[in-house]
Every structure is written in structure tokens, then in C-alpha cells.
Structure 1
């Protein structure tokens, strides 16, 4: 996997904002191509229909909006009330009508984008706490959202693949995942393939690599 070994790609804040825009457009276009009955079909995530997936992405925008509100006002506002409530909300979303889910997704995505536009440079530096209880700067929120919309556009199962995602995004994504998984250059030396296939493998998604060990789900 020479394309990743020994490299440390970087991302800027502007990169992340651009990827949110591009990823949201990709996912929205995929959703717009679904008939109401298609929402009940299986996504590429085990045990989840497209309704589960769409509810998750919509709820994620609302949750990240909470972090943006925290950065804007200084008043603590966590992403979710609890993991149990988050999971219950996703299950409830799977029972909602398709048009209702689509409207929620569009509203939440639009509100998150507007909220991010309001933040000042100083507010972007405020600390927030993620759902995984990791303290980060608010400026990381766009990257968190970019991952969600791009990867779940693939997970929707409508023909979008990792090859449809921007190379600069995939390089940063792959580097982040390998770091979080604790994979060294030695661990990756026996794996070779195109960047989209390698990124899909690292993310625990279907891929075309031969002989690559299964890593399990991520995100």
C-alpha cells in the first residue's frame, strides 16, 4: 500500500467546509433518486434499512448543530442526551414516512450549514465534546460532518462507491482511520490497491482488495 505508507496528508478548515458541501450534494442527489418504496430497502449497513440510515444522518446534523450552538453561545450542549436515546431515535426514524424523513434530512442539513456560517473565527476555536467524549475544537465539526455525508452516501446502496469520493478526502480519511485502528506501515505493507479500495477496506466497507484482512465496521 505504497500510496499510504510514509505519508501524512493534511486537511485545512476550508477543505472540510468544501467537503461538507460536496458530500451533502452527493447524498442529497442519491436521496432524490429514491422512490418512496425504496426507503424501506436495505442499506449496505448490516441490519439497517435506508430509513435507518437517513434518520441517522439527519439526527447527526442536529447533533453537530448542538456542538455549533455550544461554540457560538458558550452554553454546553452535548450531541445526544444518551447513547440509548440516540439508538432509539434511529429505530423510530425507520418507522417514519419517506417524505417526512427526507424533509428532516434537508432541514437538518440546511440548519447545520447556516449555523456553521454564523460562527466567528474565535468561536471556531472553542472546545466541544464529541459523542465519544473526546474534547476537540469546534473547527473539527465540518470534518466530522464530511465523513458522515460522504461515507453514508456510499452506504445508501444506490451505486455510489468510494471511487466517487474526492481523492484528497480519501487520503485524509484513510490516514485518520489507520491511525485510529493502530495500523503501522508494517501492517499495511502486504496490502495493495487503488486509493478508493484501500479507503473502503480501512472503513470496514465492501472492497475489491485480495488477501486484505477484515477490519470490522467503522463510523
Structure 2
């Protein structure tokens, strides 16, 4: 599981990712957000509602880390899903306002989290034990990839390099632990080896943005002489 240390540089990446999302979202009308996103079964409003609801959910995990009192991200999946559905019914201006307010509250909570709390053990909705350092990765990943999912002209290739590499490391880490991943070696366009899955094998090489798009299900790659590995679905 990818974790990153807190500090001004990381907080700045999170803030900039939030600003990119909000800048894009504020251009959308009610008709725009009712249109399909790139995620099956979700409109753009669902994507924005998810991100608006995710910030306070992750903030609850920070409360757990700060106080030592278990504070779950969501009561259960049904509660999470119903919150997203309810938010998706809001007018565009109201939904963007909720997105902005929740993001600002989250950013403040992260930047003011006491030092010892960063080493506390918490459990996100996905079930793994981690520290709040993991939550920084989760939020950055969601902000960057879901901007692409809005399908309004943003692509993985447009993610800034630092954020892109953090998210790429996270996705690679997921596949390193996943079941039914075929043997292959992952390299970037400069030949840097990023991972060997199941001992290595055929080489898949491309620019890092292209690799992230492929691994996260948001783009394809040119075929290799031995064919591209067939990966299990990412989260």
C-alpha cells in the first residue's frame, strides 16, 4: 500500500489537484452534469457527488487518528451509495459548492493533523490497516483520476508528473498484491523498471502516463509482440 509523508509539498499537490477539479466543475451546467461520465452507470453528477462525500468520509478517519476513537469512513456500503445518489440529484451550482466546502474542510484537517496522529492505525472502508499517510494517496488518486472520468477533456496525460507518479506507484502496488496477475515486467519509456509481477516475463513499456491510463482502465496501450497481459480489474 502506497503511503506518502505529510508536508508542504504533498499538501500543495492535494490543493492543486482540488483546484484543477473545481475549475473544471464550475464550467458545468445542470445539463452537463446529468450526462454520462466514463464510469459505467454514473453520470458526471455521481462522480462529483462521490468526491464531495469522500472528503468528509476521509476526514472521519483523520478524527480517528487524532482522537484514538474509532470513527468509520462510512456506516456501510448502502449508506455510502445512498449519499452519492442523493448528491447526484443536486443542481450543478449546489453540487460544486458542496464539493468546494468539503474539500476545504478536508485540506484544513490534513494540514492541522498533529504529528503523532500520522502514525496512528486506522482502517479505511476498503478494510486494510494503515496510517493517515495512506489517506493522502487515496485522496490524490481520487481527485486526479475522477477528473478524467468526468469526460470533459481531461486525460491521464494531463496529470502533473509528481501526482501522476504517486498514483502510478499506488496502482502498481495494488497489482503487486492482487491475485491472477500474469507474469510480466513493467518499464517506463526511459527503460526504468517499475515492477516485476510474478517473477517477471514479457516487457510492457510506455510513457508513465500511458502506463497509468492502462493499469487504471482509462486508456489502452500498443500491443506487444507477445500480446498485452490480461489484468484483473483495478478497484
Q: TM-score range by the shorter chain?
A: 0.7 to 0.9
Unpaired stretches in structure 2, ≥5 consecutive residues: 187-201
Other-structure match for 1:6 = none
SS, match of residue 38 in structure 2: coil
Q: Following superposition, which runs of at least 4 residues in structure 1 exceed 6 angstroms of deviation?
A: none
Other-structure match for 2:120 = 126
Pick from 134, 158, 164: which aligns with 1:164? 158
Unpaired stretches in structure 1, ≥5 consecutive residues: 1-8
Q: Is the 8 A contact 2:66 2:113 kept in 1?
A: yes
Pick from 149, 159, 177: which aligns with 2:171? 177
Alignment partner of 1:29 is 2:45 = no
Alignment partner of 1:18 is 2:12 = yes
Alignment partner of 1:141 is 2:139 = no
Other-structure match for 2:50 = 56
Alignment partner of 1:200 is 2:217 = no
Other-structure match for 2:184 = 186
Residues in 2 aligned to 1:185 and 1:169: alpha-carbon distance in whole angstroms: 27
Higher RCO (CA-CA < 8 Å; seq separation 6+): 1
Q: Deviations over 1:139-160 (max 9, x none)?
A: 2222211111011111111111
Report the CA distance between 1:19 and its aligned residue.
2.2
TM-score by length of 1: 0.86
- Note the 1:38-49 alignment, pairs <5 A: 38-49=32-43
- Note the 1:46-125 alignment, pairs <5 A: 46-125=40-119
Q: Is the 8 A contact 1:201 1:215 kept in 2?
A: no
Aligned residues, how many? 211
TM-score by length of 2: 0.81
Provide the alpha-carbon RMSD of the alignment.
2.2
